[in-house]
Amino acid sequence: MKIDIVSIFPEYFDVLNVSLLGKARQSGLIDMNVHNLRDHAHDRHRTVDDTPYGGGAGMVMKPEPWGEALDSILGADAVASDDSPLVIFPSPAGEVFDQKMARELSLEPALVFGCGRYEGIDQRVFDHTATQARVRLVSLGDYVLNGGEVAVLAMIEAIGRLIPGMVGNPESLVEESHEDGLLEYPSYTKPATWREREVPPVLLSGNHGAVDKWRHEQQVERTRRVRPDLLPPDLTN
Ligand code: 6GU
């Protein structure tokens, strides 16, 4: 998978050189390039923002540096089609990111992330980019971050670990929270007693059927308690 990131803080993405994602880059599974938006601002101060038309608080990111940066990645003459790269603008005004979206995005050959700061990016950047590529605005959830960088780190971690060839044990991917729509069951390891707390006896029983049943019950109970909004209709009540 090819990943391009545009940001005024490229250092945020240095962390993607470590751990599993770092290995995926070294192995060539992920080809990632981070671009500094300021390289596309040509005034003396390399300005990327300005005051909003119509007034109001904060600053808006100017369209020209964004246009030049995205042209350099997509090609200035690119025409949007089903085969175009997918450009994701992290935004609290976007559709909410979830495991299903992470799965979809892990199948994309080319992703571009455009990280806005300040009060946002001039709307014409989204409208113009949609003529050159596929565009989605994506939010991490209902809270406000100062910019898209941290959101993109989270998205890349969620997407990257789903790319075929990424995780050592593919089973560990399906047995997690959200993959089956429920939260995950509690896990235990040795010792069997710790600070007078016992591991649930069923897990020591060797009865795999009983273990599976117990784990599923735990998933349903936990989901009902913490995230009732996730419960499928047949498990509601
Ligand atoms: Cl994707 N961006 C920003 N700036 N804030 C957010 C977000 C994204 N998702 C939740 N809050």
* Predicted TM-score of the model (pTM): 0.95
> Could you tell me where in the chain the CATH 1.10.1270.20 domains are found?
175-235
Long-range contacts of 44-49 (CB under 8 A, 24+ apart): 48/8, 49/117, 49/118
Which tens digits make up the pLDDT trace of 15-49? 998 888 888 888 999 999 999 999 999 999 999 99
Gap from CA of 112 to ligand 1 centroid (Å):
16
Type of residue numbered 101: M
Q: How far is it, in rounded angstroms, from Cα 42 to Cα 61?
A: 14
Give the tokens for residue 48: 């990327």
Tens digit of each residue's pLDDT (9 = 90 or more) over 44-56: 999 999 999 999 9
Pocket test for ligand 1, best of 101, 143, 144, 152 (most atoms within 8 A of CB): 144
Q: Is the ipTM of this complex over 0.90?
A: yes
pLDDT tens digits, one per residue of 75-90? 999 999 999 999 999 9
The pLDDT, as a whole number, for residue 164 is: 85
- Among 165, 170, 169, smallest CA distance to 29 is for 165
Q: Which two tokens stand for residue 90?
A: 């992290």
Return d(Cα 212, Cα 219) in angstroms, integer: 11
| 36 close to 117: Cβ distance less than 8 angstroms | no
120: left (phi over 0), alpha (psi -120 to 50) or beta: left
Which tokens belong to 146? Answer: 């100062």
Binding residues for S-adenosyl-L-methionine, by number, are: 116, 140-145
Nearest C-alpha to atom 5 of ligand 1 is from which residue? 145
Ligand 1 atom closest to Cα of 140? 9
Q: Which CATH architecture has domain 2-161?
A: 3-Layer(aba) Sandwich (3.40)
According to DSSP, the residues that pair with 139 across neighbouring strands are 96
Determine the pLDDT at residue 119: 87
Residues at CB less than 6 angstroms from ligand 1: 90-92, 139-141, 143-145, 147-148, 151
In whole angstroms, what is the distance from residue 68 CA to residue 129 CA? 11
Tens digit of each residue's pLDDT (9 = 90 or more) over 108-162: 999 999 999 878 999 999 999 999 999 999 999 999 999 999 999 999 999 999 9
Element (H, E) at 221: helix 208-226
pLDDT digits 0-9 by tens, 183-206? 999 999 999 999 999 999 999 999
Strand pairing category for 49-50 and 110-114: unpaired
Q: Residues 115, 162: contact at Cβ < 8 Å?
A: no
Contacts for 141 with CB less than 8 Å, ≥ 6 apart:
96, 97
Q: Where in the chain is the domain with CATH 3.40.1280.10?
A: 2-161
Percent share of the chain, pLDDT over 70: 97
Binding-site residues: 116, 140-145
Q: Tell me, what's the pLDDT at 126?
A: 98
Instruction: Please tell me the residue having the least CA distance from ligand 1 atom 8.
Output: 91
Task: Assign domain 175-235 one CATH number from 3.40.50.300, 3.40.980.10, 1.10.1270.20, 3.20.20.70.
Answer: 1.10.1270.20
